Structure 1
Amino acid sequence: MPPLRRTGPVPEAEHPEYAGRYRLGESLGTGGMGVVRLATSDSGLRLAVKVVHREHAADPEFRARFRQEVSAARRVSGAFTAPVVDADPEAARPWMATLFIEGPTLSERVKRNGPLGAEELRGLGAGLAEALRDIHRAGVVHRDLKPSNVLLAADGPKVIDFGISRPVDGEVRTETGKLIGTPPFMAPEQFQRPRDVGPAADVFAMGAVLVHAATGRGPFDSNSPYIVAYQVVHNEPDLAGVPEDLVPLLRRCLAKDPAARPTPEELMTALRLPEGGADPVRVPAQRRVVVAGAAGDAAGAAE
């Protein structure tokens, strides 16, 4: 899911005054499935509260998926994920409140400042590997890791948006023939065997995210999602421009066979910075506010 974009005035019907006991303030943006508003908890925490669009609140399939998202996000905790503070997926307008995180997405950072340096890249990779370790330990597969779902906070990268994640042993909720994910960052098995997708798919996505961070493009770029899908399944990744010492590791992450990919623990070891190394990712002084846990659709495109 790309970060929410400000799209001008939001219809009054999309401006509820409260979500549970939280009085909603400024509209931070809107996506294909919800509006995110700023709020403050009783203890003073700044929150980003996602309230689903009215039409989706009436859709039983969406409600089931939103309950799954809340459940998955609550199961995951760690230094590199954004915690859920409160939620009510059964409300007339389902909502979820996460800690407000200030910082650009990786996608914005690369677009504005260019590819990351070698040490920044290693720091980012180590943080993402630790996030995946925590996510997988909680029994969850993210299934949509991509540059716009990585926030670069001052204390390190945060993985957000569990809108299409699911428990490792859970049911896949999707319509027949509908792809779940974002093609340039999907693993081959997500195209071929979506019901068999496991934690290794997130490792594949992490490899593609790091290629994007290193070069400004993905390893299987094309203007056509169909060509992207073909390349992901059949072609070798384009790793031109990736630091030479990281090429073998990223090639393993992007292996067609899930069993050939490294585990998050192996990645953490391989990407560990030496003593006195650079900070994980330098966040530029001018940062745009981005929301953790914002709403998006199953294909990962905000509308």
Structure 2
Amino acid sequence: MQPLEPEDPQSLGEYRLLRRLGAGGMGRVYLARSTSGRTVAVKVVHPHHAVDEEFRHRFRREVASARRVGGAWTAPVLDADTDGPTPWVATGYVAGPSLAQAVAEHGPLPEATVRAVGAGLAEALDHVHGLGLVHRDVKPSNVLLTLDGPRLIDFGIARAKDGTASLTSSGVSVGSPGYMAPEQILGERVAGSTDVFALGAVLVYAATGEAPFPGDSSAALLYHVVHGEARLDGLPDGLRETVTRALSKDPGGRPSTEVLVGELAGAAGGAAGLVRSGWLPGPIVEQVSRSAVELLELEPQAPQGSGPVPFTTPAYGPDAGLVPPLPASPPSIPPSVPRGPGFGPPDPSFGEAVAHPTTETGPPGPT
């Protein structure tokens, strides 16, 4: 989380921008607060994309698709302006680090946590697929860990099931290296099974700290996904069979999202049965709790060269949408524990997309 720069807008629609969450090839992501006190993430399209009519058309279509996604274990689209001089979209701000950040800082997750993550994402994808959409970019930075369960975010390149992997007029594949299914890399037809492959790769990363397909470049990595075998060293035995089938090169050999939920949740019956007090390791709970306190104390930034900005305290509480309720007895945080970074929709998810290594892709829309 960074201060606003002089060139950043102070507000968009009813949202007062508070801080920068990051920047990518498509634009910038801001932490913002609505007039009613709800905290959101606002993704703003870069000016040079805003004047591109083809991009705007794609952005409108993708925002419309994302608005339809409102099931459990996702961050909802709340508002958008796709026709104004500065196109933007506001999503619910999720209180938790990304899976990528959590694993990088704290190491691989326990099997029970991995199962909860997998079951939650499988239920989210089951809902998405039921709407006739495919997410197409399931990866660790698009999975957020909160006190009350995982959240799948960034539906910026979600498209209808009956299309190919192409998002651009040139027909190239869009996604993230190492988490794209072989058919997606090859520009073939995608379906719900494409997301299942990505989910399998995410589970390997969560449980081992390493992506299942190695490569020192995007081209090498994508080649390995299509032709090589996944590395499953360190994967718990209880997850190995399920993950192996999810990573099948043949889409027809992958389990459905419904089957994944059953295999990962077992007797718990679903993700909700796995997400309970203590589902996250202690260090991640401490990180979320610290960040939630920082968010509550955050005030609008005064424009450079001006006096203090008047600040009206928003109505906190479960209906304000500011942060999810903290545990009744939050863990004590020793003074020696360093303060963690901000949290919410990660920056890389807004600008991170790759094309087939020999072809240049156009920009996907955010969210």
Same fold (TM over 0.5): yes
Task: Provide closer, same or farther for how the CA distance between residues 290 and 72 of structure 1 changes in structure 2, counting only shifts above 3 A.
Answer: farther
Residue equivalent to 1:65: 58
3-state secondary structure, aligned to 1:26: strand
User: What is the CA–CA distance in structure 2 between the aligned matches of 1:273 and 1:281, rounded to whole Å?
Assistant: 19
- Distance, in Å, in 2 between the alignment partners of 1:148 and 1:266 is 24
Contact 2:97 2:144 in 1 (8 A): yes
1:96 equivalent in structure 2:
89
3-state secondary structure, aligned to 1:71: helix
Instruction: Measure how far apart 1:37 and its partner are.
Output: 2.1
Alignment-derived partner of residue 285 in structure 1? 286
2:145 corresponds to 1:176:
no
Contact 2:98–2:346, Cα closer than 8 Å, also in 1: no
Where does residue 79 of structure 1 map in the other structure?
A: 72
**Counterpart in 2 of 1:109?**
102
Cα distance in 1, alignment partners of residues 91 and 274 from structure 2: 31
Residue pair 2:167, 2:174 contacting (<8 A) in 1 also: no
1:196 alignment partner, SS class:
coil
Please, which moves more after superposition, 77-86 or 37-46? Answer: 37-46
Amino acid at match of 2:351: G
State the alpha-carbon separation in 2 of the partners of residues 261 and 163 from structure 1.
24
Deviation of 1:41 (Å): 2.5
8 Å contact kept, 2:163–2:189: no
Distance 2:145 2:104 in 1: 13
Aligned length: 293
Amino acid at match of 2:173: L
d(CA) in 1 for partners of 2:225 and 2:104? Answer: 23
Q: 2:353 aligns with which of 277, 298, 303?
A: 298
Q: 1:130 to 1:146 in 2, by over 3 A?
A: same
| Cα distance between partner residues in 1 of 2:111 and 2:121 | 15
Counterpart secondary structure, 2:261: helix
1:237 aligned residue (230, 244, 249): 230
2:149–2:275 CA contact under 8 A, matched in 1: no
1:135-214 residue pairs with structure 2 within 5 A?
Answer: 135-170=128-163, 172-176=166-170, 178-192=172-186, 194-214=187-207
Distance 1:10 1:33, change over 3 A: farther
Residue 166 of structure 1, CA deviation: 0.9
Give the 5 Å matches for 1:16-55. 16-55=9-48
Structure 1, unmatched stretches of 5+, are none
Matched, 1:215 2:208: yes
1:226-250 Cα deviation digits (max 9, x unpaired)? 2212221112211111011211110
Counterpart of 2:219 in structure 1: which amino acid? Answer: Y
Q: How much does 1:197 deviate?
A: 1.2
What 5-or-longer segments of structure 2 have no aligned partner? 289-340, 356-362
- Which residue identity does 2:74 align to in structure 1? T
* Bigger shift: residues 43-52 or 82-91: 43-52
In structure 1, C-alpha distance between the alignment counterparts of 2:241 and 2:235, rounded to whole Å: 10
For each residue in 1:149-173, what CA deviation from the matched residue of structure 2 results, as whole angstroms up to 9, or x when unmatched? 1011111111111122112235743
Question: Which residue in 1 is equivalent to 2:301?
Answer: none
Take 2:45 and 2:260, find their aligned partners in 1: how far apart are those partners? Answer: 36
- What letter matches 1:22 in structure 2? Y
Identity rate, percent = 48
Offset from partner CA, 1:47-99 (integer Å, 9 cap, x none): 11111111111122321232232112111111200001111111111011111
Give the greater-gyration-radius structure (CA). 2
CA contact 1:123–1:281 (8 Å) conserved in 2: no
> Do 2:148 and 2:275's aligned partners in 1 also have CA atoms closer than 8 Å?
no
